[in-house]
A and B are shown apart, each in its own frame.
Chain A
């Protein structure tokens, strides 16, 4: 048996599993999306019909905002944690990464505890301003929940990338007169760009598709996963929910691909 056919033989189980559990259901989903009363036009409807389109835009904006804020917070925190040694550092890292294991439901629950009707923030604002601030059940609560969800993941990636930074590059830039800001802009951030793209992509995709948190905070938040859920379970509208699912996947994929080419060319242009 040649080397090549041996490799193929080893890959065979993987190919079968991929086909059975990945490609087939996906194909079925794509077909289901076109099996509604309007046929293929059902896909078009997910973009043209007002309610669907608004939800789609909402979801993309929410995911984008989550990604940007997560990257900013996690970069500052990750850089600080990696570069400084202080008492309590290990505990702080453990606490920051503790939510890694939490499912969306728990995160939603924590948001309610924080900003819900009986929440901490409401209590506090009630005492200070005499008004109860409650935003857990709105898109802001969801935004906070997604941050809580993404930051630990991104911090870990950024910390690993910061550890690999060549300190010599920063010293070289400083010797040439660069201020601390210029060093960050010209040396550190470009070197971290691949980590931003990788961890940002995961944060974005997670925020696009996360369901548990939205479901826990529930009621009247319009994000795609919730819409799919209602169409599927409550309205039994299989075709629409399938079309929306395919749309969710496609749009996420498209935006990530764009981000990757853009940042890739940005790095190339800078270099």
Chain B
């Protein structure tokens, strides 16, 4: 498609936001987004994701000293209508007094694009977003998933340099969300627009993001690729927010983690009286009792289908979550052994 690769590079520099009522929504943050990249802002509700997105969009002004640059040009005081950004709102914000086609064509009409070209572009987008046949519907005659597609089509119709999406899938039910996530992923890759995507759903962030910005209480906790934030979280918050994590607090003696149920060699672990260590459930291997490095008792078994989640007590000071293959037969009360590779243990900075 001819929209490919016309994204802008974005830089936000020391952008903080304090609202008129004194709420500090965002600490001054600096962030670079490459041309064509999909960057996901991920964090729990209220951590400032929408605020950052609205600053980039031009709907909020950053506090004094903050700057927004597109392709190196200072856009801080340029209003949104002249920033050429496509935006998909959480509520979709489709115009109720217009048809689907008129909604999609609105930005083109405002730009004075001639009727014939407009219609062609609408047809192209309708096909791209899989809503053929709905062109003349009113907005209140659409399902949630259809609205989401119209909102996306409307936002990319103007060939924006930057596409901003604020939790576009949150309002949909789980099955539809999964399907649309895949669709959205293919579409964003095909369009090649610089995309900033806000979500509180870590699975969504992993699938869609080239890089993820994990946010917490108005501050950036970590920036990295999905693999980096998953395998090498910077702190306990990121570790627990992304995926499932066992956080173990125990002493380390000469590169060995001392646990109630046994001893685990840990890579790069110097002696420490009280270390915080992350262990992902899928990195723990179940062995026969006595064969593993740790020994514990099965507390509960949840069969999920493709795998099973065991909760094992006695191995660590707190029960460990273990993702075991679905073929292992373990019953509540069984004593089992556990093994973990030294590089699967991730030392985290101790929280103050």
Are B93 and A168 neighbours in the complex by a CB distance under 8 Å?
Answer: yes
Are B91 and A179 neighbours in the complex by a CB distance under 8 Å?
Answer: no
Given the interface pairs A173-B106, A271-B98, A271-B138, the reply to whether A179 lies near B81 with Cβ below 8 Å is: yes
Q: Is A12 an interface residue (CB 8 A)?
A: no
Q: Is B95 an interface residue (CB 8 A)?
A: yes
Most A Cβ at <10 Å: residue of B86, B106, B158: B106
Q: Is A131 an interface residue (CB 8 A)?
A: no
Are A176 and B98 neighbours in the complex by a CB distance under 8 Å?
Answer: no
| Interface size class of chain B, counting residues whose CB lies under 8 Å from the partner chain | 20 to 34
| Interface size class of chain A, counting residues whose CB lies under 8 Å from the partner chain | 20 to 34
Of the residues B79, B87, B95, contact of A187 by C-beta under 8 Å:
B95
Q: Is B287 an interface residue (CB 8 A)?
A: no
Q: How far is the CA of A175 from the CA of B80 in the complex (A)?
A: 6
**Count of chain A to chain B residue pairs whose CB atoms are closer than 8 Å in the complex:** 67
Are A176 and B99 neighbours in the complex by a CB distance under 8 Å?
Answer: no
Q: Which residue of chain B is the closest to A176 with respect to CB atoms?
A: B107
Are B158 and A176 neighbours in the complex by a CB distance under 8 Å?
Answer: yes
Shortest CB-to-CB span from A48 to chain B, Å, is 43
Are A174 and B93 neighbours in the complex by a CB distance under 8 Å?
Answer: no
Q: Which residue of chain A is the closest to B79 with respect to CB atoms?
A: A174
Are A171 and B59 neighbours in the complex by a CB distance under 8 Å?
Answer: yes
Q: How far is the CA of A194 from the CA of B111 in the complex (A)?
A: 29
Are A171 and B80 neighbours in the complex by a CB distance under 8 Å?
Answer: yes
Q: How far is the CA of A169 from the CA of B128 in the complex (A)?
A: 24
Shortest CB-to-CB span from A176 to chain B, Å, is 3
Are A186 and B80 neighbours in the complex by a CB distance under 8 Å?
Answer: no
0/1 interface trace, chain B 65-106, chain A, CB 8 Å (1 if under): 000000000000001111011110101011111110000001
Given the interface pairs A169-B93, A169-B95, the reply to whether A175 lies near B106 with Cβ below 8 Å is: no
Q: Is A190 an interface residue (CB 8 A)?
A: yes
On chain B, the residues within 8 Å of A175 by CB distance are 57, 59, 80-81, 85-87, 155
Q: Is B110 an interface residue (CB 8 A)?
A: yes
Q: How far is the CA of A166 from the CA of B90 in the complex (A)?
A: 13
Shortest CB-to-CB span from A230 to chain B, Å, is 47
Q: How far is the CA of A190 from the CA of B98 in the complex (A)?
A: 10
Residues from 224 to 271 in A contacting B, C-beta threshold 8 Å: 267, 270-271
0/1 interface trace, chain B 213-224, chain A, CB 8 Å (1 if under): 000000000000
On chain B, the residues within 8 Å of A173 by CB distance are 95, 106
Given the interface pairs A168-B89, A168-B91, A171-B80, the reply to whether A177 lies near B107 with Cβ below 8 Å is: yes
Q: Which residue of chain B is the closest to A172 with respect to CB atoms?
A: B93
Q: Which residue of chain A is the closest to B83 with respect to CB atoms?
A: A175
Q: How far is the CA of A198 from the CA of B96 in the complex (A)?
A: 20
Q: Is B17 an interface residue (CB 8 A)?
A: no
Are A186 and B158 neighbours in the complex by a CB distance under 8 Å?
Answer: no
Are B110 and A182 neighbours in the complex by a CB distance under 8 Å?
Answer: yes
Q: Is B154 an interface residue (CB 8 A)?
A: yes
Shortest CB-to-CB span from A106 to chain B, Å, is 41
On chain A, the residues within 8 Å of B94 by CB distance are 172
Q: Which residue of chain A is the closest to B82 with respect to CB atoms?
A: A177
Most B Cβ at <10 Å: residue of A169, A179, A182, A270: A169
Are A176 and B106 neighbours in the complex by a CB distance under 8 Å?
Answer: yes
Q: How far is the CA of A270 from the CA of B98 in the complex (A)?
A: 6
Of the residues B59, B79, B91, B110, contact of A176 by C-beta under 8 Å:
B110
Shortest CB-to-CB span from B274 to chain A, Å, is 49
Q: Is A93 an interface residue (CB 8 A)?
A: no
What would 20 more interface pairs be, CB under 8 Å, given A172-B94, A177-B81, A191-B96? A168-B93, A169-B93, A171-B87, A171-B89, A172-B87, A172-B89, A172-B93, A174-B59, A174-B80, A175-B59, A175-B85, A176-B107, A177-B82, A177-B110, A178-B106, A186-B95, A190-B97, A191-B97, A270-B97, A270-B98
Closest 3 A/B residue pairs (Cβ): A176-B107, A168-B93, A172-B93
Interface residues of B (CB under 8 A from A): 57, 59, 79-82, 84-87, 89, 91, 93-99, 106-107, 110-111, 138, 154-155, 158
Interface residues of A (CB under 8 A from B): 166, 168-169, 171-179, 182, 186-187, 190-191, 267, 270-271
